[in-house]
Amino acid sequence: MKFFIDTANLDEIKEANDLGVLDGVTTNPSLMAKEGITGTDNILNHYVKICSIVDGPISAEVIATDFDGIVQEGEHLASLHKNIVVKVPMIADGIKAIKYFSSKGIKTNCTLIFSAGQALMAAKAGATYISPFLGRLDDISTEGVQLIAQIRGIYDNYAFDTEILAASVRHPMHIINCAEIGADVATVPLKAIKALLNHPLTTSGLETFLADYAKGNA
């Protein structure tokens, strides 16, 4: 399973990249705003900065919601760097635009997926990735991971190439559940990536090993 980091914070992106296990980055307009990145030029520059840190797919989201606008904006985003993946919302004009981008060899990430039907439509349009939002389904008392399993089954039935990019991942168990189901990618906040490293028996075991070494080499 590939790990993407879900943030626009450059320090967090660098820290995750330094771990050596990072495959890509996803952002969205809310994550950009959280970092105080506003205005088209600043946002575009920020994508370029992210691309200079991580050598992997970097999702950059369009703001337009009409076909012509999505195509224009997406082509501009794709021209910024070879690793840019154009993130397009799951709406009718978004699906048309994904089909267009697919025919032009521009990679896409269809975002705001909350149902298997939406995932099927995005795959039919040729999306490179789809982003089902697990945490936001959990927020409304619906099992987000069940949606991932349902989509995995559908994509496997027809050998769709579209990759399932589990998003709105909030904690380590989401990551483990996605790995068990066979999600292709999980995009995760830094805190959840780091939480995977920890176990109290690892901590206490290492303390004991170091203490015993110190005793024997005092």
Residues contributing to the site for ligand G3P (CB under 6 A):
6, 26, 28, 31, 131, 133, 135-136, 167-168, 170, 187
CB of 27 to ligand G3P, least distance (A): 8
Q: How far lies 93's CA from each of 20, 31, 67, in Å?
A: 37, 24, 5
Smaller CB distance to ligand G3P: residue 17 or 131?
Answer: 131
Smaller CB distance to ligand G3P: residue 71 or 77?
Answer: 77
CB of 30 to ligand G3P, least distance (A): 7
Return d(Cα 187, Cα 22) in angstroms, integer.
10
CB of 171 to ligand G3P, least distance (A): 10
- Residue 11, CA atoms < 13 Å, CB-side half-sphere: 2
Give φ, ψ of 3 to 5 degrees: -110, 125
| Distance between first and last Cα of the chain | 44
- Residue 13, CA atoms < 13 Å, CB-side half-sphere: 23
Is 87 among the residues known to form the active site?
A: yes
Smaller CB distance to ligand G3P: residue 6 or 163?
Answer: 6
Beta bridge partners of 26: 6
Residue number, nearest CB to ligand G3P: 167
Query: Which position among 87, 104, 107, 194 bears the catalytic label?
Result: 87
Active-site residue set? 87
